[in-house]
Structure 1
Amino acid sequence: MSAKPANFNGLHIRKWYVFEEETLAVESGPLADGEPLRKIVVAAAIANPHAGGFTEDFSAVIAESAALGEEFGRRLVGALAGRPAASYGKAAIVGVNGEYEHGNAFLTTEFANPIRKALGGAESWVPSTGKAGGPGTAIDIPLAHKDALYVRSHYDTVSVSFGDAPLPNEVVIAMAVATRGRLYSRLGGLTAEAAIGEDGLR
């Protein structure tokens, strides 16, 4: 494990991040068809306990990620400030002394389930992506409807970068939510109302 002192359930977290964007109109000009689209990203720069080597056993990180997911859920709910989350996605950026798999170890079901619980509903699996890189690396986090994966109107991305992370022996773990689907989504397909019913929307 990392020699850096643990400050969160066996992990060393150097920094938390929260980003929010609010879209009021589509690129061609029309104002939002309803509420603006808000996308929120919560992320953490975490010391990578497996940096610099190969491991077969990720059980410690997977176990620790459950408490991490609870904290992500708490911070996401706080950032939403009473607004519902309609879609979500997750991502990892692994510093150059690590492997892509080191980031994936933080993003398993153990991490995601507490976030699902905090957001309410959240029956769908959480789309995920990742990459290796250094400070300032940009990543596009995929978004999909949290209760009905095949709702086409909610397929989206949010792009973020972190000016000082990840350092070579770190991973950045990020979770994104959006409050609605794309503005003026008009490609047809399954709707959220048809997929889960009006009473099921949260």
Structure 2
Amino acid sequence: MLRRRDVKERVLELRRWLTVVDERSIEAGQSRDVPLRRVAVIAVVSNPFAGRYVEDLGPLIDGSVAIGGFLARQAVEAMGGLPVESYGKAGVVGLGGEQEHANAMLTTAFAEPLRVAVGGALAWIPSFTKLAAPGASIDVPLAHKDALYVRSHYDGISVTLPSDAPAADEVALIVALANRGRLNARVGGLAADAIAARDGLR
């Protein structure tokens, strides 16, 4: 479990966290034996650079490691034992900060714990960030964790933040996972069970 002092030591303070679980097995009247479970875990953290311009965002990158590990563990737990095939990340910056603050918090340093938590992954993690008022919605993109060319896994999960988050001095960081591609995917391309190149693309 993430201890509050662990985050403070790395600049970012974890103020609250939430989990969203969306599971479905029927779409367009078609029932599938393996349901699609998409989860998103949101961490609302302090933004020490809110209200001022800081050239070096290194402290945000360093501070994101503990948050990334915490979100990764919570997201895997929310999958309820289902295998993870897709992942994504996102960030919403409160109005006192800059969009670049979320980007600094979502680099490889933040993402590496997620790769470990899902049992290894080769593909880059799709990402989206924005500046927004409390209660904003954001679509977190999803793609296959081992090969970006798997079209069936181009997906996402919509997340609506609480009405009071992120505050002007906060950032909401989000990790999303899914156990399979879209329920009725049928546009061709590389199948998930045909991944062979192990290069993160094919």
Give the alignment's TM-score, normalised by structure 2: 0.90
CA contact (8 A) 1:127 1:142 kept: yes
Q: Secondary structure at the match of 1:70?
A: helix
CA contact (8 A) 1:124 1:146 kept: yes
CA contact (8 A) 1:148 1:196 kept: no
CA deviation string 1:88-138 (max 9, x = no partner) = 100000000110001111100000011100111211100000111111100
Q: Secondary structure at the match of 1:129?
A: strand
CA RMSD of aligned residues (A): 1.3
Once residues 15 and 5 of structure 2 are traced to their aligned partners in structure 1, the CA distance between those partners, rounded to angstroms, is 9
1:37-186 pair list within 5 angstroms: 37-163=36-162, 164-186=164-186
Q: Secondary structure at the match of 1:9?
A: helix
How many residues align structurally?
190
Once residues 135 and 55 of structure 2 are traced to their aligned partners in structure 1, the CA distance between those partners, rounded to angstroms, is 29
Give the alignment's TM-score, normalised by structure 1: 0.90
Once residues 196 and 177 of structure 1 are traced to their aligned partners in structure 2, the CA distance between those partners, rounded to angstroms, is 22
The offset of 1:58, in angstroms, is: 1.1
**Counterpart AA for 1:15:** R
Which has the larger displacement, 63-72 or 181-190? 63-72
**Counterpart AA for 1:186:** R
Once residues 42 and 5 of structure 2 are traced to their aligned partners in structure 1, the CA distance between those partners, rounded to angstroms, is 16
CA contact (8 A) 1:7 1:13 kept: no
The offset of 1:194, in angstroms, is: 1.4
The offset of 1:182, in angstroms, is: 0.2
**Larger % of strand: which?**
2
The offset of 1:196, in angstroms, is: 3.6
Match of 2:192 in 1: 192
Once residues 196 and 134 of structure 2 are traced to their aligned partners in structure 1, the CA distance between those partners, rounded to angstroms, is 40
